[in-house]
Chains A and B, each alone.
Chain A
Amino acid sequence: MSAFSRGTRNVYRNKPRGLVLILILALSVGLFVGLSQATRALTTQTKNLTRILENTIEVRNAGATGMGQGVELIPEQDVVGVKTVEHISQIEKQLLVRNVYSEYFPTISITTGNEPGKPLRVATHGEPAAVRIIAGRDFTEQDQGQNVAIIGQVYAENRDLTVGATFLEPGGEKAQAGGQELEAVITEIEVVGIFTSNFAFGDNQVFLPLKTAQRIYGLDGGISVLWVTVDEIGNVEAVETALRDEFGGTRDVLTGQSKVRFVSQSFDRILVIGKISLLLSLFVGALVVIFTMVLTTQERIKEIGVLKALGASNWEVAFQFIVETSTLVLVGSVLGLASYSTIGPTLINSLLGLDTQTGIQPGIEMGLAPVSSLVSIEYTLQPSVIVLTLLATLAFAVLGSLYPIWRALSLPPAEALRYE
């Protein structure tokens, strides 16, 4: 029976109390870790998003919503004028067609005519980083005008398609672009790649080479969106002005900055709340640990007197108590970390209104994607977070124990023995 094993055994000496303390500790540790993970994920995501959005300018027909409904398409020749503007590093032309398939879910599928070699931007938000090819390949220059497609995971699963398989485009009951019902030439298309964008609506989409899409839907020379990438963030304003001059009000020129402002305002608000809760949970956690210590020592001052009467040195008594609280705190922290790992992501996702499996906003119909759909949060705890959390709670336990133990030990044993 060493001071160490006495310390650990004392944890379950008073079972209900030990249990309650461990649970409270676990709760505050879990809360703290969850909040810090969420806050961190949001911070990096905001940065990513800002970087992506900031130097991208989106040109649509004036009044067009995300899908360009209700207005006419932009003639492809517009690009010629855009090309004369300085500081543009890339121009991407996209044609967006809205297909309705009532027998599948999601019922709406977007077919995007994309320039081969350019990023795959999934509607309804144009973040190319979110799209990942999981089977087959991306388009190459040679694919322009060919009957090939890269399809989303959900689209593929719904129709039982794999790379190399063929399908008919359009296959639904209705196809629209720029507000018009389209007369399409039903064409057999080969699947060359399958992608995921981590949200169901995005994954129900089809990419065709731009020329192929224009041909099938009888929209030669028409596009829905021009994505303009500016070489440096500092030039965004100049390019924006130049583009507005170029189009003279017939096109909406949406800079990243206006989007960023909207996005980061929402994020900032969440972040502030996150940080406040983080501090609160840290404070509560520290309080619980210190309170635990004070309680444990206070109610055992008499026992400290007994141990000293039996010939224990101050160090032996202190060590036993430090082991006791450390064990308590470690068990609580491990439990907190474990419960965070099991239920934390689901909890955070449901709080943020995200899909509980992927952490992504599920099936957005049309138009503006909610801010949260842009976020895919990394919930897995890194080893460094685990180690830091354990070390921090341990440090709190030891620091919190020192004062009450020191006070109890500085009493003459006779005095300690009088406590009941």
Chain B
Amino acid sequence: MNNDIISLKGVTKEFRQGATIIHALKDITWNLSNTGKMVAVVGPSGSGKTTFLNLVGALDVPTSGQVIVDGTNIADLTERELTKYRREKVGFVFQNYNLIPNLSVLENIMLPMEFARTPKREALARALGFLGDVNLEHRQKQKPPTLSGGEQQRVAIARSLANDPDIILADEPTGNLDSQTGAEIIGLLKGLAHSKNKTVIIITHDEGIVKIADEHFMLRNSKLTEV
């Protein structure tokens, strides 16, 4: 056994589109051993970055190969274990935030804790804490659509922290934001990676972000290589 947090072994992911088969990822082998780092993954459009992140987050299963996180092969997990994995092991930050529009900011952050059966009192206290981490205590009662894009993304980051996951997966988190707001978000994620010892994987097109990240990888022609 090694102590890799994440390792991919010969991972291939194919999508069937009618008669044609699309190879989103082909025989990828990759591993990440340092925790508490912000890792940037770049690559041309359609190179399979989102697919890669979905596999690490157990939102999808590889066609072949192994995705091993903390010693566990995701393909071996039952539906129940997959649910627990998504709930506790990883936190997601999406390009378009994906907050539940009719729940308040606070309720959105408490949602993953509800799924984890965290007692309500504790959940509330923790949610308020995360809201503090992203400097949005004063917005707790508002509904997401009344917030700016940057604020919504900060709520989403607070939500990703809810069940104290080891890994935060962010797919182009600044894609809908202007460069200054984007820089703030990236700063926030990097701060969390360091202060809370999280592994943050960010997919991005933004050269600026790539420079800020602790580690840099490039996905191209089905090769994920350090740059």
Contact = CB atoms under 8 A, between A and B. Distances in A.
Interface of A: 1-3, 6, 9-10, 13, 302-303, 305-314, 316, 412-415, 417
Interface stretch (B41-49, B64-72, B80-88, B209-217): B80-88
B102 interface: yes
A1 B115 contact: no
Nearest to A314: B79
Contacts of B110: 1
Closest 7 CB pairs of A and B: A311-B87, A414-B60, A414-B54, A414-B59, A413-B59, A311-B115, A412-B60
Nearest to A418: B50
Contact of B83 (A312, A414, A415): A312
A310 B86 CA distance: 6
Interface string B80-120: 10011011100010100010111100010011101110000
A374 B111 CA distance: 63
Contact of A415 (B60, B98, B112, B116): B60
B159 interface: yes
14 contacts: A1-B107, A13-B102, A307-B111, A309-B59, A309-B98, A310-B92, A310-B159, A311-B87, A311-B116, A311-B163, A313-B80, A314-B79, A412-B61, A417-B54
Contacts of B92: 309-310
B150 interface: no
Tier of interface size on chain B: 20 to 34
Interface of B: 51, 54, 57, 59-61, 79-80, 83-84, 86-88, 92, 94, 98, 100-103, 107, 110-112, 114-116, 159, 162-163
A91 to B, nearest CB: 77
Nearest to A415: B60
A276 B59 CA distance: 49
Contacts of B107: 1
Contact of B60 (A3, A306, A413): A413
Contact of B114 (A2, A10, A13, A305): A2
B112 A310 contact: yes
Given A1-B114, A9-B102, A311 B60 contact: no
A307 B115 CA distance: 9
Contacts of B61: 412
A420 B63 CA distance: 25
A306 B100 contact: yes
A19 B125 CA distance: 37
Nearest to B102: A13
Given A303-B100, A311-B163, A414-B54, A1 B80 contact: no
Given A313-B83, A417-B59, A417-B94, 12 more contacts: A6-B100, A13-B101, A302-B98, A311-B86, A311-B87, A314-B79, A314-B83, A316-B115, A412-B54, A412-B61, A413-B59, A414-B51
A308 B86 contact: yes
Given A306-B100, A414-B54, A312 B115 contact: yes
A13 B143 CA distance: 12
Contacts of A303: 100
A403 B112 CA distance: 26
Which of A313, A314, A316 has the most B CB atoms < 10 Å from its CB? A313
B102 A310 contact: no
Nearest to B107: A1
Contact of A412 (B59, B112, B115): B59
A6 B200 CA distance: 30
Contacts of A305: 59
Contacts of A2: 114
Given A413-B60, A414-B54, A414-B59, A310 B87 contact: yes
Contacts of B51: 414
Contacts of B114: 1-3
Contact of B88 (A9, A10, A309, A311): A311
Given A313-B80, A413-B60, A10 B159 contact: no
A2 B123 CA distance: 13
Which of A306, A310, A314, A415 has the most B CB atoms < 10 Å from its CB? A310
A13 B101 CA distance: 9
B122 to A, nearest CB: 14
Given A310-B112, A312-B83, A415-B60, A1 B98 contact: no
A309 B86 contact: yes
Contacts of B159: 310
A6 B59 contact: no
A310 B115 contact: yes
A313 B83 CA distance: 6
Contacts of A306: 94, 98, 100
A310 to B, nearest CB: 5
Contacts of B100: 6, 303, 306
A354 to B, nearest CB: 47
Contacts of A413: 54, 59-60, 86
B59 A313 contact: no
A323 to B, nearest CB: 14
Nearest to B98: A306
B155 to A, nearest CB: 13
Nearest to B165: A311
Contacts of A412: 54, 59-61
A13 B145 CA distance: 13
A150 to B, nearest CB: 67
A303 B97 CA distance: 11
A309 B57 contact: yes
Nearest to B80: A313
A100 to B, nearest CB: 71
A203 to B, nearest CB: 58
Contacts of B84: 311
Nearest to B60: A414
A181 B111 CA distance: 90
